[in-house]
Amino acid sequence: MADIKTKFAGLELCSPVIVSSSGLTNSAEKNKKWAEAGAGAVVLKSLFEEQIHMEAEQYSDPAYAESADYMAGYVRGHKLAEYLQLILDTKMACGIPVIASINCFSDAEWIDFAKHIKEAGADALEINILSLQTEPHAKYGEFEQRHVDILKHVKRVADIPVIMKLGDNLTNPVSLINSLYANGADAVVLFNRFYPLDIDVDKITHTTGSVLSNGAELSSPLRWVGIASARVDKIDYAVSGGVHRPEDVVKSLLAGASAVEVCSVIYTQKELFIQEAAEYLRKWMDSKGFDRIAQFRGMLNAKEVKGVNMWERTQFLKYFGTKE
C-alpha cells in the first residue's frame, strides 16, 4: 500500500491533510478527534492581535493612561496563559504535530509570545498576516516588508519552524516567498481567506457573505503554488482554500504542495473527509504506481517557461479569446 507520509516545515506528517486554525481546533478534545481520524497535524485556533487590543481597551479607563497600559499587559498575559494551556493539553492528547497560530497585522511586542509558545511544546508556529492595505500614501512594498519584519522578529526570539500564511492581495507572491525563505521561513500557506462581505439591498446595510469556502476557490492557490514551487523550490508549500474533495488533495500535491490545510470541509463533513482523503490518496497512488508522495509532488508545477505561460495567460486566450 502507498505511503502517504509527507514532510512540511520540517515536520513529519502521517498524512498531508492538516486541520487549519479555527473553532475546530480550540480544544484538546477536538484535536484528539482529528488526530484519531488520521490528520497529519492541527493548527490551533489563532491568537488574534485585534482581540487583545479590543479587550484591553474595553476594560481600561481612558481618563488614566496607566490603566490602559496595565490592562493591555493583563489581557496579553491572560490570553497567553490560556493559549499555552491549549498547547500543553493538545500535546498530551495528540500524537501528531501541533502548530500554534498568531493572527496579526503589525510587528508588535506581543510577537514575543513565540518564545513561550515554543517552550510550551508547539512543534511549529504559523503566522497569519491578514490585512487589507488602504492607505493612499503608503509606499509600494511596505506591506510585503512587514511580513519579512515580523518573520525576523519571531526568528530572533524563538528557535521554532515558522510557517507564513499569506493573503492573496499581493502583487508578486513569488518575490515575497523568496524573501521569506531567505529570512528563515520554513513553509508558506497559500492563501488566507478574508472575511466574506456582502450587502443586503433590502436593509441597505453590510452583511456577512458565505463564511465557508467552496470548491471554485481552489484555482487560485493551485496556480500560485504551481508557479512558486517551481521558482522558489527550497521552501515547503501548503494549499489552503477550496479543498473540498479527496481529489483536491492530489491536485494540490501535483501542483507542488507538501500538504493542504482544510477547514470548511471539516465543518461540513467532520472526520469523514480526513478518512476519505487518505483512502483516495492511497488508491490513486497505487493505481499510478507511486509508492511515496515525493515521486509525484510538483509533477505539474510550472517548471518551464511554457508551463508558466500555461498557468498565466495562454489558457485565457485559448478558452475565452474566441468566446462570443
pLDDT digits (tens, 9 = 90+) for 257-305: 999 999 999 999 999 999 999 999 999 999 999 999 999 999 999 886 5
Count H helices, E strands: the chain? Answer: 12, 13
Give me the chain's average pLDDT, please.
88
> Residue 24 burial (CB < 10 Å; 0-12/13-18/19+)?
buried
CATH 3.20.20.100 fits 6-320, yes or no: no
Q: With a cut of 90, say whether residue 193 has pLDDT above it.
A: no
Q: With a cut of 90, say whether residue 78 has pLDDT above it.
A: no
Question: Which residues are bridge partners to 208 per DSSP?
Answer: 197
Least confident range of 135-139, 158-162, 198-202, 214-218: 135-139
How far is residue 170 CA from its own chain's centroid?
Answer: 15
Q: With a cut of 60, say whether residue 256 has pLDDT above it.
A: yes
Q: With a cut of 70, say whether residue 80 has pLDDT above it.
A: yes
**Strands of 118-272, DSSP E:** 124-129, 162-166, 187-190, 197-200, 205-208, 236-240, 259-262
**What does the pLDDT average to over 71-88?**
80
Residue with the three cell numbers 510550551: 120
> Residue 310 burial (CB < 10 Å; 0-12/13-18/19+)?
middle
Tens digit of each residue's pLDDT (9 = 90 or more) over 159-182: 999 999 999 888 899 999 999 999
The pLDDT confidence band at residue 98, using thresholds 50, 70 and 90, is very high
Q: With a cut of 60, say whether residue 324 has pLDDT above it.
A: no
Rounded to whole angstroms, the Cα distance separating 125 from 259 reads: 16
The pLDDT confidence band at residue 314, using thresholds 50, 70 and 90, is low
Tens digit of each residue's pLDDT (9 = 90 or more) over 37-76: 999 999 999 887 666 655 555 655 555 556 556 556 666 7
Segments making up each domain of the chain, as ranges = 6-320
How does 216-251 read in b/e, with b if 16+ C-beta sit within 10 Å? ebbeebbbbbbbbbbebeebbbbbbbbbbbbebbbb
Extract the C-alpha cell encoding 207.
452583511
Rounded to whole angstroms, the Cα distance separating 56 from 76 reads: 8
21-35, 149-163, 186-200, 292-306: range with highest mean pLDDT: 21-35
Share of the chain above pLDDT 90, in %: 64
